[in-house]
A and B are shown apart, each in its own frame.
Chain A
């Protein structure tokens, strides 16, 4: 087998985290199907296409589901949410900038990369002046 492309092989987890450490939120997209893939993989689900390329995410998303992880005081509670990103895939994240209890399904949110000790993670913040209806709730 000869690799006819010049790009290095995809290392899903390592590549994703390296991009984040460089300040970039990247998704994968299949060259043949045009479909976006998240979480990162070596092959597209169902088709098995291995022509996945990394593309920068728009960062726009909508809250699909939300919960609050209750902690024993004084540890603060925090949000865990599923976000439908504009490109199609769904990811786990949290919504910051508002109380964890105030996060609502259908809320329009935008990604931000946050340094978390050594690692970097994608979190989301509410988009100012937008509500669920404008964001288009993905029922």
Chain B
């Protein structure tokens, strides 16, 4: 059957972050509500206008209910789908379908976490299965380190190439006043940093921060009432391959290959058309794997591709222009921030880091341990 994704029929009309870095005293749901009202206000809307709610909070498995109650709304569509950090791109997929088929009029996708102030470390949404836990892998970093070991073995990828990803992210963060980690970072700094799980040092790993994000969508026919430059969802597709890293068939190939192909096909565009790329960079190896799997370079070439500042400011392919999970924000689940940054870039609101004439963005979410992959292609009205 033909892929009937409603290309361009849903549009993002508001996108906001809140509390990036440290927000002591606020619960995760408080942070999510701050981001939500900010994104709604940007679109000239109130919580009462929301009839489609998509959310997952770190430790609240019924957060669709608790956030509805907190906002004082009675949504027709309440989606608490959890696919790990990619959940919010999964939400984007379903919100697009729900809007296009008249199931709701205003969709809100929200997330917030106080994991830095609250727990002081990554709050995992999943207990390790016994066949993993008995070997005491530090998860999730161990899984990504294993994938990196494999990529280095098969393709000759080096620690310096992994470090290029962290250095590029930092250079973008230095242009983003909201980013939590700013300041100089060199390849040598990354290589000399404390090792966590070989070959990954602490600078190959994402931050642990507080933070919240929200986006608001309407149908395209009323989007111009709410935003000067609405951001249309041209494609969104997901693929899941495993949960435990033990069950991942080839640690150098992710399901982003499949989600990316489908999302690009829905959109009618290809990698060469994309102006900016927002990838879920929980670890430096992620950026390399996803650039390969999404078709920006051949398999195995990711390390060479990111070298020489190609994805840094001034490079030919802007990647993670907010500073990413590595240098901007990573409150346990980062996925929604890829959509907020894509939106702000396409709306022309990205300040010093603005990509000139940005019309097409790719946002990509990762969940679990390279387990769930979700790709979205977003575009301005000119790309419809």
Contacts and interface: CB of A to CB of B under 8 A. Distances in A.
B134 A121 contact: yes
Nearest to B202: A70
Given A39-B246, A70-B195, A93 B135 contact: yes
B146 A82 contact: yes
A67 B197 contact: yes
A93 B130 CA distance: 12
Interface in A32-69: 38-40, 64-69
Interface string A66-106: 11111000000010111000000011111000000100011
A106 B152 CA distance: 13
B130 A116 contact: no
Contacts of A92: 131-132, 135, 137, 244-246
B147 interface: yes
Contacts, number: 74
A133 interface: no
B198 A70 contact: yes
A64 B197 CA distance: 16
A1 interface: no
B196 interface: yes
A119 interface: yes
A58 to B, nearest CB: 19
A65 B150 contact: yes
Nearest to B142: A80
Identify which of B131, B138, B194 gathers the most chain A CB atoms within 10 Å of its CB. B131
Contacts of A64: 150, 251
A78 B196 contact: no
A15 interface: no
A80 B146 contact: yes
B142 A67 contact: yes
A2 B138 CA distance: 44
Given A70-B194, A105-B153, 19 more contacts: A39-B129, A39-B244, A65-B146, A65-B251, A68-B197, A68-B198, A69-B137, A70-B197, A70-B198, A78-B136, A80-B142, A80-B146, A91-B246, A92-B131, A92-B137, A92-B245, A93-B135, A106-B153, A121-B135
Q: Which 7 A-B pairs have CB atoms at the shortest separation, nearest pair first?
A: A67-B145, A65-B146, A68-B198, A39-B131, A105-B153, A80-B137, A70-B195
9 contacts: A39-B244, A40-B131, A67-B197, A68-B195, A70-B196, A80-B197, A82-B146, A92-B244, A105-B150
Interface of B: 129-132, 134-138, 142, 145-147, 149-150, 153-154, 194-199, 244-247, 251
